[in-house]
Amino acid sequence: METWIIAMSEAKGAEVITEVVVTDTLDNLFRAHYARLVRALSVVAGDQETAADAVQEAFVKAHLHWRRVQNYQDPVGWIRRVAINRLRDDHRRIGRKQNAVERLQAAARPAGVEWSDGADATTMLAALPRQQRLTLALFYVDGLSVEEVASTLGISEGAVKFHLHQGRERLRGTQSGMEEARR
């Protein structure tokens, strides 16, 4: 590897040496700590694949910010923290989506009717006109207020309320039809 660095330095200058050293240092960190980080974070993530994605993303961020990260007392600790934050963000995102589906189900559910599973909700939402689907998603999934949805879509608050109402009514009708079809 050293011969290659010398040859590159003659060809391109000192900047190339710096890049190779950064890559070399990160490569050594990756080899020394990747498997251990994935094992440890698998417990947090619940599965190895999700943990591996988070750790890989953390190493990419370390590479992008290496000039700063290399000066930290514990670069591996920084990488670990970035990976944990990614897992937390994923967990929050999944929780928000689940809560949104539950809120949509509750809003569209006629009295006494239960949803069989999330697939029904997804199918029903896909059947809505685009504007109603988008309005419901921003309101229930993203948790935006009526005012924020209006601003995001460039429509009036009254139009947002109309689309929310129409979307919920259509979902109620679709849900009733699906329940009758099962009987």
15-45 pLDDT, tens digit each: 444 444 455 688 899 999 999 889 888 877 8
CATH architecture for residues 109-182: Orthogonal Bundle (1.10)
| Rounded (10°) angle between helices 157-182 and 118-126 | 120
Give this prediction's pTM: 0.48
Q: pLDDT value at position 6?
A: 35
pLDDT one-digit tens code per residue, 106-125: 665 544 444 454 556 667 77
Cα 126 from Cα 101, distance rounded (Å) = 13
Write the CB contacts of 42 (distance below 8 Å, at least 6 apart in sequence).
48, 50, 51
| Rounded (10°) angle between helices 118-126 and 75-108 | 70
Sequence spans of domains, the chain: 2-93, 109-182
Please report, for residues 58, 83, 144, 163, the alpha-carbon distance to residue 111 in angstroms, rounded to integers and kept in the order given: 47, 44, 26, 22
How confident is residue 176, by pLDDT bands cut at 50, 70 and 90? low
| Rounded (10°) angle between helices 75-108 and 157-182 | 70
Examine the pLDDT at 181 and tell me if it is beyond 70.
no
Longest dimension (CA), the chain: 79
Residue 71 near residue 35 (C-beta atoms within 8 A): no
Which secondary structure element, helix H or strand E, spans residue 65, and what is its range?
A: none
Q: How high does pLDDT run on average in the chain?
A: 75
Cα 63 from Cα 60, distance rounded (Å) = 5
